[in-house]
A and B are shown apart, each in its own frame.
Chain A
Amino acid sequence: MTDLHTHAEDIVAQFSDHLDLTVDDVEERLDNLVNEYRVPVDEARRSVVNSYLDEAGLEREALGGGGNASVGLAEIDQDEQWLDVTAKVVELWDARSDSVAQVGLLGDETGTTKFVAFETSDLPELEEGAVYRLENLVTDEYQGNFSVKLNRTTTITEVDEEIEVGDDAETVEGALVDIQSGSGLIKRCPEDDCTRVLQNGRCSEHGSVEGEFDLRIKGVLDDGEAVHEVIFDREQTEALTGTTLEEAKDMAMDALDTTVVADEMRTGTLGRYYRVSGPQFGRYVLVDEFERLSDPVDAEAALIEARSI
């Protein structure tokens, strides 16, 4: 009973700006559903909220506060879940679409997740490195990956506290068995907010453009049990291969062919063992750190372990 009473109070508070409700009325409706019709409490609450939304002519999004989940950013595992978080803006990325106002990475103690704010929501801008209390975010899922969306009803309050962002980096290791096409010396679209990789000098969004050179490796690490697709960005590609972007451009210029760069990279890296770590996005681990596994194998230890298998 007290449970329903609490729910009723929450609902009244949620609608306080829109409807003049009494806790008793709300509790009675909840009680009817839960105790008379055997509806689970969550569902009952949802149903009652929906009916008040109708009454007030509101969208669910318009409801502020109350009842939002408090889940670690790295622990989000549901689509369309409403959240309140205190998080640090770890990175801001270039938005790739006009409808996106800001996109980047939010972090809390559990780790990081992508966030998107849309132009239409008309929100104040977040600053990289700052910590905010963000209320009324909603989670989104795409191909098994979760992100959070800011929306019109999101409240943003900068808070004066430091957050130690958790490390949710994936670490994978294995032999580098493939460097895929689209690796080596590539060109990216120079249009604002577009960093797409050009195919034959064409951007899939902006058509024929004068691209900007970049280096990357899309590789496959394989440990004999599983494969992991990994992406080395320019900095990591330079560290992995010892070839800088300028050197790669010179190589391509000499050969009148950009593919020599990837070929050279293959020769120097394929078949070697690496351990890499970084955040996972979609199918890829984005390499923040890597190490070549070049220590001699401890054959004696391997033998002791092997005999126990």
Chain B
Amino acid sequence: MSQAPTREVARRVFAREFNDASHTFKESDDERAPVYLLLPTGERANRVFLVGTLTEKEDVGEDDEYWRGRIVDPTGTFFVYAGQYQPDAASTLRELEPPAYVAVVGKPRTYETDDGSVNVSVRPESITAVDSVTRDRWVAEAATRTLERVAAFDDESNEYARMAREEYDLSVDDYRAMALAALEGLDETDELGADADAEGLDAQAEH
């Protein structure tokens, strides 16, 4: 088949699980080999796709622009950092007015803080403003993918689940409950009539 290197799939993961992750690894000694973040539900992630509400943005750079965005999903907050090496994403962050629904494709990045804990953030490849329908679709999709990972966690052949058991002391049942709660939240907004809410934000998101 094709000899071109295969593109890494963009995992769907909620903020809470993403931020619980800390272990990164490579699968070959090659300097340019992809770095994976180990998700606690037992999957490797070299790329993620997320949709949430941009609630704050701030230029935290000293000399050059360096934008930090907070993007909220039903379970927590993703931190996204974009500087001179992500010019498109940085300029999108500069121009967007929170609150706004945004879709982000990016790479997980980790760094160790002074107290030894590991912070996880997203280095975006792209950020675009989207509508509430896209956001809801993502929540449903992220919930489904999370539940599938949880369901496959005890499979004997699941090497990343084995790795997650070794690296983390976390209960996958919590992520199952989290994913179901996120879906229940969608169901409730449905009943409240998402139309009014969608109109306001859509107008802004779709310029």
A residues sitting closer than 8 Å to B (CB atoms) are 143-144, 175, 177-178, 220, 222-227, 229, 263, 266-267, 269-273, 282-283, 293-297, 299-300, 302-303, 305-307, 309
A302 CB, nearest partner CB in chain B, Å:
5
Q: Which of B9, B51, B92, B133 contacts A224 (CB 8 A)?
A: B9
Is B201 part of the binding interface, using a Cβ–Cβ cutoff of 8 Å?
A: no
Listed stretches B19-27, B56-64, B134-142, B160-168; interface member = B134-142
Q: Judge whether A143 and B49 touch: CB under 8 Å.
A: no
Residues in A whose Cβ lies below 8 Å from that of B125: 178
Is B184 part of the binding interface, using a Cβ–Cβ cutoff of 8 Å?
A: yes
Q: Judge whether A294 and B190 touch: CB under 8 Å.
A: no
Residues in B whose Cβ lies below 8 Å from that of A294: 131, 133-134
CB-nearest residue of chain A to B180: A306
Listed stretches B29-37, B76-84, B113-121, B145-153; interface member = B145-153
Is B203 part of the binding interface, using a Cβ–Cβ cutoff of 8 Å?
A: no
B residues sitting closer than 8 Å to A (CB atoms) are 1-4, 6-12, 47, 49, 51, 88, 92, 102-105, 125-126, 128-131, 133-134, 136-141, 143-145, 147-148, 150-151, 179-180, 183-184, 186-187, 189-190, 194
A184 CB, nearest partner CB in chain B, Å:
13
A149 CB, nearest partner CB in chain B, Å:
21
Residues in B whose Cβ lies below 8 Å from that of A299: 136, 140, 183, 186-187, 189-190
Q: Judge whether B49 and A175 touch: CB under 8 Å.
A: yes
Residues in A whose Cβ lies below 8 Å from that of B6: 227
Which interface residue of A226, A227, A299, A300 has the most chain B CB atoms within 10 A?
A299
The 6 A-B pairs with the shortest beta carbon distances in the complex, nearest first, are A271-B103, A299-B186, A299-B187, A309-B147, A224-B12, A144-B1
CB-nearest residue of chain A to B7: A227
- Cα separation A293 to B179 with both chains bound (whole Å): 22
B96 CB, nearest partner CB in chain A, Å:
11
Residues in B whose Cβ lies below 8 Å from that of A309: 144, 147-148, 150-151
A280 CB, nearest partner CB in chain B, Å:
12
Residues in B whose Cβ lies below 8 Å from that of A224: 9-12, 49, 141, 145
A162 CB, nearest partner CB in chain B, Å:
35
Q: Which of B105, B128, B179 contacts A306 (CB 8 A)?
A: B179
Q: With A267-B128, A270-B105, A271-B105 in contact, is A306–B143 under 8 Å at CB?
A: yes
Residues in B whose Cβ lies below 8 Å from that of A177: 10, 47, 49, 105, 126
Residues in B whose Cβ lies below 8 Å from that of A271: 49, 51, 102-105, 126, 128, 130, 134
- Cα separation A156 to B184 with both chains bound (whole Å): 63
Residues in B whose Cβ lies below 8 Å from that of A225: 9, 145
